[in-house]
Amino acid sequence: MNATFQSLILRLALSGLLGALIGLQLGNIWLGLCAALFGATVFFLRDFQRFYTWLSSGAGPEKPLLSTFWSNVRDQVVRIVRQHENEKTQLVADVEFFKDSFQALDSAVLVVDRSGEIDWANAAAEKMLGISLQRDSGEPLQNLLRAPAFLKYFESQKFDEPMLMRSPVDRSRQLEVQATVFREEYTLIFVRDITNYAQLERVRQDFVANVSHEMRTPLTVINGYLELLMDNKKELAEDVHAVLKKMLVQSRRMDDLVNDLLWLSRLESMPQPDRSEQFSLKGMLDGIIEDARVGSPSVTIELRIANDIFRDATVTPEQIQMHGAYEELRAAISNLVQNALKYTSADGHISIECSRYFNDFYLQVKDDGVGIDPVHLPRLTERFYRVDDSRTTDTGGTGLGLAIVKHVLKRHDARLRIRSKPGKGSTFTCVFPIASLSYTPLPASHQAGQATSGLRANGDPTAAI
């Protein structure tokens, strides 16, 4: 038990004992005891009233005269108040330090509360966004920053990726906006000027596009002459023919590289694909498989489309429509199939499987080829990254195929997952939002007896290879 309470109980006990003794002398022990306890209670309440008045007035430096018990309580309060004041002073100093740090940044920093009103902004916010803390504090951000793309980004509360926008103050400036939620009610918005980086990226894209375009004509001429010379095989010495054959192989590899670079340049410069465009999913995949079988007739290529993509067993694969840029998506999926063919044996097996997992549509390309060491998987979609230079040379790869796939999928709000084990093949999964698909209803007279391809997804299709 605390010493303060022990002293209080001891005082009450002594007061009661003294009252009882006086009452005993007067002939009524209980009267004396009650009188003593009543007096002790009055003094106790008097000290409490003084303590409460002092505490209500702000616990100032002028301390009231109190008994031992309330003096100890008062001293404890004084210590706690001083500790809180010190912590508050330190907190204010820390806040000022961080504010000064943010003020020194060239990037704009905004703090917005739950209701969307501006709580704080640094000086750079006025230069980039036209928002001043002194003028606009407490104002709704939506009323001050009239940029539809930004408002959509802010209201979505999906801040996994940054967004790009033009500065409302200077339209020539390119800004990168990244937001995050903290304390469940505040949003920290960080805005960086990336105009110089954007210009450098544009210069790089133009350089690649121009060089690739300029290389295309001489490569076409070289390929044409090499093919013409190869056609006159009878008139060429055997060693000369072998040299020309190697030259043609390398020339075609250069041509493939130029074509892939041009593809990437077009993808980077083109606007977002028109989602209103629709085409047959099965028709596109059948075309890709037909092209693949021409070059590799001995490889088994199988197409399987789940019968529950739309939770409707009457929907056939022929009815399923995909939304997006047909040429881009066909090139991306074809790249995955061609990639599987390169690393699968002549009697190997490749399957293209379409299924649904919750609100996602999975399009998977599986093979039973040589597989890839997991250490390489995080970098496979980097441009020009090659797992094995010698193997890539043999198969004629450019190192850009998966980069193109990733770029096309990103333009369609999709993503690429890769799973592979050496000796056990690989699985490349394109994950699309289910809204990327729709279907054309058939007349009621045609729906009876319809059946779909046999594949049902009972779990995440990428859970295993």
Which class is domain 278-447? alpha beta
Q: Residues with Cβ < 8 Å from 159, sequence gap 6 or more?
A: 153, 178, 179, 180, 181
* DSSP per position, 223-289: HHHHHHHHHTGGGS-HHHHHHHHHHHHHHHHHHHHHHHHHHHHHHHHSPPP-TT-EEEHHHHHHHHH
Among 62-76, 99-113, 429-443, the minimum mean pLDDT is found in 62-76
Q: State the residue for tokens 């980004």.
A: 153
pLDDT score of 446: 45
- What is the mean predicted confidence (pLDDT) over 43-53? 75
How far apart CA 357 and CA 459 sit, in angstroms, is 7
**pLDDT digits over 160-169, tens only?**
888 888 888 8
**pLDDT digits over 347-356, tens only?**
889 999 999 8
Burial of 61 (0-12, 13-18, 19+ CB in 10 A): exposed
What is the pTM (predicted TM-score) of this model?
0.58
Q: Is the pLDDT of residue 458 over 60?
A: no
pLDDT score of 459: 55
Length of the chain as a residue count: 465
**pLDDT digits over 143-187, tens only?**
888 788 888 888 888 888 888 888 888 888 889 999 888 877 888
Question: Is the CATH number 3.40.50.300 carried by domain 198-269?
Answer: no
**pLDDT digits over 410-424, tens only?**
989 899 999 988 888
Which range has the top average pLDDT, 55-59, 213-217, 271-275, 330-334? Answer: 330-334
3-state secondary structure (DSSP) of residue 346: coil
Give, as one character, the DSSP assignment of residue 419: E
Among 55-69, 228-242, 395-409, 411-425, the minimum mean pLDDT is found in 55-69
| 286 half-sphere exposure, CB direction, 13 A CA radius | 8
pLDDT score of 452: 37
Give the pairing of strands 278-280 and 186-193.
unpaired
pLDDT bucket at 454, cuts 50 / 70 / 90? very low
Strand partners, 344: none
Instruction: Please give the mean pLDDT across all residues of the chain.
Output: 79
How far apart CA 21 and CA 8 sit, in angstroms, is 20
- What is the mean predicted confidence (pLDDT) over 228-247? 77
| HEC letters along 140-169 | EHHHHCCCHHHHHHHHHCCCCCCEEEECCC
pLDDT score of 462: 57
Selected residue with higher pLDDT from 287 and 33: 287
pLDDT score of 363: 94
How far apart CA 265 and CA 270 sit, in angstroms, is 9
pLDDT score of 120: 86
pLDDT score of 362: 94
- What is the mean predicted confidence (pLDDT) over 440-453? 48
pLDDT score of 364: 93
Q: Is 421:282 a contact under the CB 8 Å cutoff?
A: no
Whole-angstrom distance between the N-terminal and C-terminal Cα of the chain?
A: 67
The architecture that CATH gives domain 105-193 is: 2-Layer Sandwich (3.30)
pLDDT bucket at 445, cuts 50 / 70 / 90? very low
- What is the mean predicted confidence (pLDDT) over 435-439? 88
pLDDT score of 255: 78
**pLDDT digits over 123-138, tens only?**
888 888 888 888 888 8
pLDDT bucket at 461, cuts 50 / 70 / 90? low
- What is the mean predicted confidence (pLDDT) over 80-92? 82
- C-alpha torsion 80→86→90→95, nearest 10: 70
pLDDT score of 20: 66
pLDDT score of 12: 65
Q: Is the pLDDT of residue 447 over 70?
A: no
pLDDT score of 397: 63
Q: State the residue for tokens 């802010």.
A: 154
- Domain boundary assignment for the chain: 3-97, 105-193, 198-269, 278-447
3-state secondary structure (DSSP) of residue 424: coil
Whether the CA torsion 155, 156, 160, 162 is positive or negative: it is: negative
Selected residue with higher pLDDT from 38 and 340: 340
How far, in whole angstroms, is CA 341 from its chain's centroid? 32
- What is the mean predicted confidence (pLDDT) over 363-392? 78
